[in-house]
């Protein structure tokens, strides 16, 4: 099974940078995903890491260290629309995802 | 427009009643999934199907059943609803390849009284 931990809440100012950490313990690792979920909406895919290192996609970057069971999502140049929950998910060898409880990010003006 | 649809959008149900949540995708994805999302617990996998004709249990399968008669549809049935099944239910699908991500439907908000 999977045990996935991420902070419950984070607050940051518009234009700033926020880093959301995710640690996991897994019986079989086959990739780590980050999803964004606005209140009342479905999760939408942000990033995918399967090898160690940094994946950059515009204002969002995601990092993975498999040996440490650790990932982070970096949100740069924060905008008000970035206020949402961010979900860390680990995929096992059967392609099933296990999700963390999510981190609610609030962006203040 | 390609994607995943779910029905109903929301439902209030009396305990003991039978309920089927519908999920349809038109992306020809092989794999489909049902999750429930509860405050503070995140998304939990109920059942999944890697391809038409096969299904498997996820983390919280008790009280739920699924079928996968074809590629597009993956209904979730609550045989006798209980209040603890009050939740938001999301259906998802993926191509099933190593690099494929899961795409989520809009969700069904179910309240069991």
Residue B97 has pLDDT above 80, yes or no: no
pLDDT exceeds 70 at position B96: no
Contact A97 B45 (CB under 8 A): yes
Distance CA A59, CA A70 (A): 20
Q: What does the alpha-carbon distance between residue A102 and residue A20 come to, in Å, rounded to a whole number?
A: 10
Q: What is the mean pLDDT of chain A?
A: 94
- Say which of A43, A48, A96 has its CB closest to residue B104: A43
Structure tokens, B3: 């994607």
Region of B34 please: left (phi>0), alpha (psi -120 to 50) or beta: beta
pLDDT exceeds 90 at position B6: yes
Residue-wise pLDDT for B77-95, tens only, equals: 999 999 999 999 999 999 8
Grade residue B2 by pLDDT with cuts at 50, 70 and 90: low
Q: Tell me how far CA of residue A12 lies from CA of A53, A63, A79, B11, in angstroms.
A: 25, 20, 10, 36
SS (H, E, C) chain B: CCCEEEECCEEEECCCCCEEEEEEECCCCCEEEEEEEECCCEEEEEEEECCCCCCEECCCCCCEEECCCCCCECCEEECCCCHHHCEEEEEEEECCCCCCCCEECCCEEEEEC
What is d(CA A94, CA B88) in angstroms, rounded to the nearest whole number?
A: 24
Please give the biggest Cα pair distance in chain B: 41
Mean pLDDT of A18-43: 94
Q: Is the pLDDT of residue B1 over 70?
A: no
Q: How confident is the model at residue A26 (pLDDT cuts 50, 70, 90)?
A: confident
pLDDT tens for residues A64-81? 999 999 999 999 999 999
| pLDDT higher than 80, residue B99 | no
Q: Is A101 helix (H, G, I), strand (E, B) or coil?
A: coil
HEC string of A24-47? EEECCCCCEEEEEECCCCCCEEEE
Q: Does A72 touch chain B (CB under 8 A)?
A: no
pLDDT, one tens digit per residue, over A92-105 is 888 889 999 999 99
Residue pLDDT, tens place only, A3-12: 899 999 999 9
Three-state DSSP at A108 gives strand
- How close B38 gets to chain A, by Cα (Å)? 9
What residues of B are in contact with residue A97 (Cβ under 8 Å)? 33, 43, 45, 102
Percentage of the residues of chain B whose pLDDT score is greater than 90: 88
pLDDT at residue number A96: 87
Q: Report the pLDDT averaged over residues A34-40.
A: 96
């Amino acid at each position: 099974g999977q045990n996935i931990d991420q902070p419950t809440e984070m607050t940051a100012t518009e234009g700033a940078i926020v880093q959301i950490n995710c640690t996991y313990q897994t019986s079989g690792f086959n990739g780590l995903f980050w999803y964004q979920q606005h209140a009342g909406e479905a999760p939408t895919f942000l990033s995918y890491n399967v090898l160690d290192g940094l994946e950059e996609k515009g204002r969002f970057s995601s990092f993975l260290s498999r040996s440490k069971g650790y990932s982070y999502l970096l949100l740069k140049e924060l905008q008000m629309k970035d206020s949402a929950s961010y979900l860390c998910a680990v995929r096992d060898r059967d392609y099933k995802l296990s999700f963390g409880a999510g981190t609610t990010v609030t962006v203040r003006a | 427009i390609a994607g995943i649809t779910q029905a109903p959008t929301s439902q209030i149900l009396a305990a003991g009643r039978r309920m089927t949540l519908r999920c349809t995708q038109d992306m020809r994805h092989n794999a489909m999934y049902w999750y429930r999302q509860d405050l503070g617990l995140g998304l939990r996998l109920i059942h999944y199907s890697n391809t038409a004709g096969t299904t498997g249990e996820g983390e919280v399968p008790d009280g739920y059943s699924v079928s996968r008669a074809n590629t597009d549809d993956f209904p979730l049935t609550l045989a006798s609803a209980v209040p603890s099944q009050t939740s938001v239910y999301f259906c998802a699908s993926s191509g099933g390849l190593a690099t494929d991500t899961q795409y989520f439907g809009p969700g069904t908000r179910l309240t069991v009284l």
